Amino acid sequence: MLDLQKALQPLITSKRTTTPTTVGNGGISLFGGISTKNGVPVNEKTALQLSAFYNAIDIITNDFAKLPKAVFQKTDKGRIKISNHNVQYLIAKRPNQYMSSFSFNKLMLMNAILKGNAYAFVERNQNTAKPIALQLIDQDKTPVTVLKHNSKLYYRYDGKTVPSEDMLHVPGFSYNGITGISVIQHAAKSLGVSLSSQEFSEDYYTTKGVGTAVVTTPKAMDPDAKTRYSSALGSTLDRSGNWKVAVIDEGGSFQHLKITPQEAMFLSTNKYGIEEVARWLNIPPHKLKSLDNVNNSITENLEIQHVADSILPWAIKFDLEYEVKLFTAAEQNGGFYIKSNEGALLRADKKTQAEYFSKLIFSGVYTRNEVRQLLDLNGLDGLDEPLTPVNTQTMQQIDENLKNTKND
């Protein structure tokens, strides 16, 4: 790793004629946000008050965090898993002294979606320059500014500036390829409608509810009489018990106010809000418990769609960032790379899984012990050789069989 003072020299020397350029500061803050036309503030806090939005964020970040991540090295014969690499421990076990890899990856992705950028400082051993910890940066307490100087990126936070090789940075949706923008900035109007609908529902049930009524009388009443009349009728209907009999004087009539069709349609806006959240976060609606037009025959295809569209793009983005920032140049040239196993999210039912593994075993793709490892079972003696179907042969095998036949 370059000496920190040398890396920062272009930023602190006064002899340079160029000055650092601010690229971005990482999107909106938790306590800022956007106000819609009706005055409803839309930010991370208010958006997460919508059950569909909260559920979508929780599902996407949980699915990403539970992906097994491992260090591999490409070789002439394929690849080998490097279990004793220090990066393996950071990405799969304990990235820092405060949290597990699951919590770390969940929070990193949550920041990338909600704030537009996820940041983590790479703490290194001073002697070997190997990464020893990944410290998540809380952007609510410590804002991060991205600077570009002499074709290099630097990150300024908490009164210090660090080079890009010491900062894990995963942006969300981006216009410049460097800094991201929170999804909330684009979805503010859509989320604002759902928030307004939620407030309307709360206000309706608080002020109207199911016990609102009107009493009409054939002749006028003075205000005090109306108050006494309303209080007496209300106390009668509001008391507990199986029987409630109200007597209305002087030919008055009682009319219960029911919800209007227009109000009913507005109260059902939450249902359409689920589809809007699904579009903004690129997640299938059935994952948000909206099960209209969903049956068991297409559930597996929908799960594949969820992994391919919602999880895999984030997994690739994180894997590439980890490789560049956590491996040395020699290790990268030596074939070291990081792979998230999205197959962990695609485990089918037992019958389908058994058929899948059987076909791969009998076609020689997997050995029986490799399948046992995928099922978290110990290997057995004699099951390391791949099986070859007797009715399929290579050209070399056919030639050898013909030669043996001629010799016989």
Helix 312-326 to helix 51-65 angle (10° resolution) is 50
- Residue type at position 277: V
- 78: which strand partners? 75
Give the sheet arrangement for strand 145-149, strand by strand. 21-24, 145-149, 152-157, 160-163
Per-residue pLDDT of the chain (408 residues; tens, 9 = 90+): 445 455 555 554 444 445 677 776 654 443 445 655 556 677 888 888 888 889 999 999 999 999 999 999 998 878 899 999 999 999 999 999 999 999 999 999 999 999 999 999 999 999 989 999 999 999 999 999 999 998 899 999 999 999 999 999 999 999 999 999 998 888 887 777 666 666 655 555 555 555 566 677 777 777 777 777 777 766 666 666 566 666 666 666 666 555 555 555 544 556 677 888 888 999 988 888 877 766 666 677 788 888 999 999 999 999 999 999 999 999 999 999 999 988 888 776 677 778 888 888 888 888 999 888 877 788 899 898 888 777 776 777 777 878 877 776
> What is the rounded CA–CA span in Å between residue 90 and residue 105?
11
Domain boundaries, the chain: 1-207+259-347, 213-256, 349-393
Count of CB atoms situated within 10 Å of the CB of 114: 24
Task: Provide the phi-psi class of 281: left if phi over 0, else alpha when psi is between -120 and 50, else beta.
Answer: alpha
CA dihedral 332, 334, 340, 344 (to 10 degrees): 180
Torsion angles phi and psi, residue 364, rounded to 5:
85, 10
- Residue type at position 2: L
> pTM, whole model, 2 decimals?
0.72
Supply angle C-alpha 145, 56, 266, rounded to 5.
110
Question: How many residues in total does the chain contain?
Answer: 408
